[in-house]
Structure 1
C-alpha cells in the first residue's frame, strides 16, 4: 500500500511505519484466524447455543447472519429489518471511512471494536467481538478498498503442498474473498484472506464485504482445520 502523499517522509514516518507493521503482524505471530474461530465456538457452546447447518441462496447469506443474531435472544420480537447505510457518493479516504463506520450499530453496541491504525500506510482495524476478537483490516489503496485478515501462518501448515492444492480448488467456497500468500517485512510468510472493491463503493457494500470476509474466514478455518498444526 502506498502513501497518499508524495512528499519526503517526516522523521517520525519510519517509527509510524514500524508501529503499523508491528500492529499488523501481531495476529499472525501468535493468533491465527483458526484461534479466534475456536474461541468463538467455545464461547457459544459454553453459553448454551447449538450449531445448526442451514442451506440458503448465496444472496441471502447476509440476511441469515442477521437472523442468527436475533435468534440468539431468548425471545424473538419484532420483524427482521435490513440495515440502511449511506452511500459514499465520492471516493472514500481512510479518515472519512473511519468516521462513517463509527456510526454503525455494531460499533456503537461494542459488537465491533473500531480503531484507526496511524502511520504512513494508515488502516482501520475492526475487532469482531462476536467472533472471539477476530481482527479485520481495511485500507484505501488508490481506487480500491482492501479488506483482509491473516488466515494462518505458513509455518502452522502441516502439509503445504496439499494445503495449497485444497486452497486452489476452493474458489467457489468463499464468495467475494480470495486467499493469497504474503511475505511480511520480517520475512514471515502468511496466508491472507481478502476482498477488494472500488473506493467509491457504498458503505453498505463495504460493510457487506467485511461481514462476508468474517463468514468466509470462519468457513475456511473449519474446511482447512485438518491442515493446521
Structure 2
C-alpha cells in the first residue's frame, strides 16, 4: 500500500515525538527511582528506549520507513529511496516531533515545559563515540534491509540498547534527538554548546557508513523502494 506524503510526514513526526517522550521520560523516571545510582538510571533509560524503538519501527515503518532520524533520511536520499523534497520534509517533521516529544515528557512529569540543558558532554572522545554509534546504526539498518527486512525493528532496538553502553556518549546517533535533548535539563539532556560536536560527528559517521556498507552489501530491493518506488522518487 502506498501512503501519501502527508501521512508519511505525520508518521515521522508522531514516531519521533514518541521516541523522545520515551527517552526523556524514562530518563526522568530512572533518575528519580535510582537513588543516585547512575548506572541503574542509565539501565532503565536504555531498556525503555530499546523496547520503544522495536514498537515504533514496527508500527510506523510500513507507512514512512520509520526513519525518525535526519541522517537515516540522508542515507535513504543518497540511495535513491527518497526524493529531495520529501527528504527535506521528513527532516522538518522529525525535528518538530522531537521537540514535541521532549515537551510531552516534561508535562507528564510536571516539569517546566521550556528548559535548556546544563549537562555538558564535551571532548573529542565523545564526538568520536557519536561517529562510531551512528556508523553502527546505519550499518545495522542497511544490513537489515539487505538481508532481513522483517528483523529491522528488533535489530535497531538491540543495537541502540547495546550502544548506550559501549559508546562513551551513550549513543545519541541522531541530530534531531540531539537538538531536542538540549531542551531538557534532565538525565537525558545535553548542553546546547555540546550539540555541534555531536551533530557533526553523527553526519560523519552516517556518511562513512553509507560508503562502506553501500560497497559491502551491494544493492537489492528494499521494502521502502518496493512499496512506493514511483511516488517517492518523484517527490
* TM-score (structure 2 length as normaliser): 0.32
- Return the structure number with greater strand share: 1
Bigger relative CO (Cα 8 Å, ≥ 6 apart): 2
For the pair shown, the structure with the greater C-alpha radius of gyration is 1
